[in-house]
Amino acid sequence: MELFKNIEIDPIKLNSLALAFVGDTIFDLLTRGMIVAEGNSPVNLMHKKAKSIVNATSQSKIYSKIEPFLTDEELGVLKRGRNAKSNTQAKNQSIVDYRRATGVEALFGYLYLKGNFDRIQELYKIGLED
């Protein structure tokens, strides 16, 4: 998972939307990996399951679940992402859910660029617990 092994990036210097840009892919990759690990099934069913997790409403719920477990540094990144001003409008999602989802994605992007893969997986599991 070390795609940026030879690239020096200080994630704290990146704006929140750049972190969310990376984090969106990381979140999607984790979700797809989890679904495939559950076993073979038709691709359209796997896609529907992924869409049910990788969306603003679901990620907003994850925001609430992981927030109490975050360090001060992580909480700062989450809130920076949530408060980022985006030119993109939420599609069929509330603006609150959309912004909270951006916070989660920013946090995942930040942790990924820091190389903190274990922490990403830990927070992902907490976020998906029922």
Q: Which residues are catalytic?
A: 24
Q: Tell the residue number behind the tokens 């989890």, with chain if given.
A: 34
For 25, the token pair is: 């892919």
What would you measure as the largest C-alpha separation in the chain, in angstroms?
A: 42
Cα angle for residues 121, 49, 126 (degrees, 5° grid)? 25
Do 61 and 100 meet the contact criterion of CB atoms below 8 Å apart?
A: no
